[in-house]
Amino acid sequence: MTHRTQVAIVGAGPAGLILGQLLHNAGIDSVIVERHTRDHVVERVRAGVLEQGTVDLMHEMGVGDRLAREGLRHDGIYIAFGGERHRIDLAGLTAGRAITVYGQNEVVRDLIAARERSGRPLVFEATGASVHDIDSTHPTVRYRLAGDEHEIASDFIAGCDGSHGICRLAMPSPVVHPYEREYPFAWLGILARAAPSCPELVYSLHEHGFALFSMRSTGVTRLYLQCEPDEDLQRWPDDRIWGELTTRLRTNDGWQPAVGEITQKSITPMRSVVVDPMQWGRLLLAGDAAHIVPPTGAKGLNLAAADVWRLAGAIGEFYGTGSEVGLRTYTERGLRRTWRAQRFSWWMTSTLHRSASANPFDHKRQLAELDYLVHSQAAMTSLAENYAGVPFA
Ligand code: APR
Ligand code: PHB
């Protein structure tokens, strides 16, 4: 069966769903195809820190009601080392830009509900997706659903299919340049039924390595600790996790994370990837399909939102005025923000983690970097403006 639409979107993660909503609001039709089930997409545990720009976008799209009620606005974060916690006043240093803690799965839940209200198609369990004729003005996406073959005839294909998607692989290999970096550690993350014992996030560097105190709601704490890249979760019974988290996060003022039942455990690998260019013909990549950042700056979801905001603008301009300027400059503008986020995420990662290959000099230098950071208005401002996020452009 052949469907006809303006934009075929592969992937119903935050990138694909936000794009679908922005296009809908501009009166542009799309079909979203997703290989997993709706439950899988909604229940996936991911990060939960929204930049001001992402929060503003959710409101502009008309999907910000629950976010306004349930999201936790944080005006600052803490950096901990040497037994002390130091607050970085994000809002004070950036003329009011703050972050909002709201799980990515809640963002996805709200966007799926909006998609359903819009009446535009969102196809779950679409398997074997492939893209064709991306060099032409009529590219197509083919997929299978319950054993039947389907084809979407479109004007544009948006590759929003994440880091293991198929769209990036459809770009001709000689023109695509992936820049990559592996980090020699990973994060072991847990969700715990425990009221957060600090109202803001705490990023900590301890002799044993990095730890992060975060949260999802007033009753759920989210915590991470640096571990080996090939770490075996079996080696981490709950007692060991809490022991290590407490050791790495506890500060001399007596603060430590509140302990509670662990409801989820997982390992997050740490990688940086940038795909250059982000577009080929009528195929445009957005979100994790185009770039991956290590989680230390919480930039993944926010970069995806900035990409599709730009992409929706470019497609809207094309249908509205016939101009292709936005489409032609999509890669250039996208890569600029991406590299800025890569630089920041790399800096936060390397400043806050202990590497097995580091010697005592490196560790002392890291502590000096942190000491400078928390005592210099200039250094704190630099962290704050990157962490809270510069306006989408
Ligand atoms: N066909 C259809 N859907 C696919 C295919 C395929 N061949 N390959 C992947 N997908 C779907 C995935 O199942 C997933 O739901 O594409 C979606 C991609 O979503 P995400 O991985 O969430 O990526 P993205 O939307 O770019 O979101 C950006 O921010 O916090 C970070 O990495 C985190 O999810 C993240 C992201
Ligand atoms: C999270 O809450 O999951 C989280 C917070 C901050 C990060 C990464 C993840 O840098």
Q: SS in 3 state form for 206-248? A: ECCEEEEEEEEECCEEEEEEEECCCCCHHHCCHHHHHHHHHHH
Closest CA to 62 of 118, 101, 16, 120: 118
Catalytic residue annotation: 74, 203, 295, 299, 387
**Cα(159) to centroid of ligand 1, in Å?**
9
Residues of the chain with CATH 3.30.9.10: 184-270+357-388
Closest atom of ligand 2 to 49 CA is 5
Q: What local confidence, expressed as pLDDT, does residue 46 receive?
A: 86
Closest atom of ligand 2 to 296 CA is 10
**Cα(275) to centroid of ligand 1, in Å?**
15
**Cα(10) to centroid of ligand 1, in Å?**
9
* Pocket around ligand 2 at a 6 A CB cut-off: 47-49, 201, 212, 214, 222, 295-298
Distance of CA 20 to the CA centre of its chain: 18
Residues of the chain with CATH 3.50.50.60: 2-76+99-180+271-347
Q: How far is CA 327 from CA 31, 209, 287, 311, in A?
A: 20, 43, 16, 7
- Token pair listed for 305: 């939102």
Q: At what angle do helices 377-388 and 330-352 cross, to 10 degrees?
A: 130
- Token pair listed for 267: 């390992």
Which residues of the chain are modeled with pLDDT < 70? none
Q: What local confidence, expressed as pLDDT, does residue 132 receive?
A: 98
Say how far apart CA 231 and CA 233 lie, in whole Å: 6
pLDDT tens-digit map of 200-209:
999 999 999 9
Domain 184-270+357-388, architecture per CATH: 2-Layer Sandwich (3.30)
Instruction: Indicate if ligand 1 lies below 6 Å from the C-beta of 34.
Output: yes
Closest CA to 39 of 163, 125, 102, 117: 125
Classify the phi-psi angles of 376: left when phi > 0, otherwise alpha if psi is within -120 to 50, otherwise beta. beta
Say how far apart CA 389 and CA 393 lie, in whole Å: 11
Cα angle value 50/76/195 (rounded, 5°): 80
In the CATH hierarchy, which fold is given to the domain comprising 2-76+99-180+271-347?
FAD/NAD(P)-binding domain (3.50.50)
